[in-house]
């Protein structure tokens, strides 16, 4: 139900074409997580992770991560290393005797990568800096991944303040890129670059994939007059490279176009795996789930009906105004 409410919120707002904001993103998270049970400890709908907390997630080759995606993440982290000093760093910078502690060269990356030293043993090498030779670092880490060693991204303990600053900067870059985009490919590149970078910081304790890789992606696509699609795996963001994500979008776009032309294709074996058969899933669920599913459909239908009514009213007003001027 939460995802449906958030999707309806997107539908109600996309025609307004407002500039994206942190508050809008937080509202999406609040709506989709408000009534969710069994979330990760500390999850607060609509609020970023607090200071002195971390988030971690595994790097898994295949459907979720690629070498190219890892390399792009490392290059980005190296580029912003030292850009967002903590309050303590700012204090050091005011004292000549300690200014070296606050210099970008000595600041650690906001995201670290932990690599298991030996299979079966919980001992890790921790990568804290990505400013020098990112290609070599990426190759070292990817070799460990291919060997089956546990590799994970781990955020720094900077929370709300850092996350807001990063999001604001990424949003500004996104809007500038979209304003200057001359083609569909350039729009997609801007959107997926933005999503990769903000998701990398895992801003919420839980619900990051739902908020960014699912809901916000659809909002940005619709806002930019691009077809909304469903990716094979939302964890492709931030694991794949931007180019790979654009290619995945183009694949999914063709698939969605086929479905619009022939809805039965969704049951075709050629449809992307894993396929979801709603009817089969519902058969195995209780009456309460059936009721909730119907409520979701009704809410979505009423939102779309209202949108169509608003559009028709707007067109009628424009036609009336046009007739008066002729």
* Domains of the chain by residue range: 278-325
Confidence of residue 53 (pLDDT cuts 50, 70, 90): confident
* Comparison of pLDDT for 8 and 280, the residue scoring more: 8
Instruction: Report the candidate in 286, 288, 269, 266 with the shortest Cα–Cα distance to residue 277.
Output: 266
Widest Cα–Cα separation across the chain: 80
Please check the confidence at residue 170 and state whether its pLDDT lies above 60. Answer: yes
**Average pLDDT for 64-76:** 97
Measure Cα distances from 199 to 19, 50, 94, 98 in Å.
19, 16, 33, 33
pTM: 0.86
Measure Cα distances from 223 to 27, 176, 178, 267 in Å.
17, 15, 11, 29
Weakest-pLDDT range from 73-82, 187-196, 225-234, 311-320: 311-320
Q: What is the pLDDT of residue 28?
A: 95
Q: For residue 233, what are the contacts with CB-CB under 8 A and spacing of at least 6?
A: 63, 64
Confidence of residue 322 (pLDDT cuts 50, 70, 90): low
**Average pLDDT for 308-322:** 64
Weakest-pLDDT range from 36-40, 195-199, 233-237, 317-321: 317-321
Please check the confidence at residue 324 and state whether its pLDDT lies above 80. Answer: no
What is the pLDDT of the chain when averaged over all its residues?
87
């Amino acid at each position: 139900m939460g995802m449906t409410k958030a999707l309806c919120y997107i539908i109600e707002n996309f025609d307004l074409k407002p500039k994206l904001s942190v508050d809008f993103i937080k509202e999406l998270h609040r709506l989709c997580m408000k009534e969710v049970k069994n979330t990760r400890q500390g999850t607060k709908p609509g609020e970023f992770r607090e200071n002195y907390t971390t988030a971690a997630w595994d790097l898994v080759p295949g459907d979720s991560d690629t070498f190219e995606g890892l390399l792009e993440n490392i290059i980005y982290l190296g580029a912003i290393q030292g850009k967002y000093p903590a309050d303590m760093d700012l204090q050091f910078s005011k004292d000549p005797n300690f200014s070296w502690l606050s210099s970008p060269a000595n600041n650690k990356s906001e995201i670290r990568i932990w690599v298991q030293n030996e299979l079966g043993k919980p001992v890790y090498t921790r990568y804290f800096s990505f400013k020098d030779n990112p290609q070599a670092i990426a190759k070292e880490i990817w070799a460990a991944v291919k060997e089956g060693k546990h590799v994970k991204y781990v955020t720094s303990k900077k929370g709300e303040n850092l996350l807001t600053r990063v999001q604001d900067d990424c949003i500004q870059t996104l809007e500038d890129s979209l304003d200057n985009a001359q083609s569909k490919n350039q729009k997609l590149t801007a959107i997926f670059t933005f999503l990769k970078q903000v998701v990398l910081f895992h801003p919420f304790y839980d619900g990051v994939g739902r908020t960014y890789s699912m809901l916000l992606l659809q909002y940005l696509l619709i806002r930019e007059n691009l077809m909304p699609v469903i990716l094979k795996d939302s964890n492709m963001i931030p694991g794949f490279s931007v180019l790979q994500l654009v290619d995945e979008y183009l694949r999914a776009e063709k698939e969605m176009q086929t479905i619009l032309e022939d809805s039965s294709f969704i049951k075709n074996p050629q449809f992307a795996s894993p396929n979801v058969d709603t009817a089969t899933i519902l058969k195995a669920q209780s009456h309460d789930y059936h009721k909730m599913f119907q409520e979701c459909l009704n809410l979505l239908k009423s939102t779309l009906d209202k949108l169509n009514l608003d559009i028709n009213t707007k067109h009628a007003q424009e036609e009336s105004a046009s007739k008066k001027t002729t």
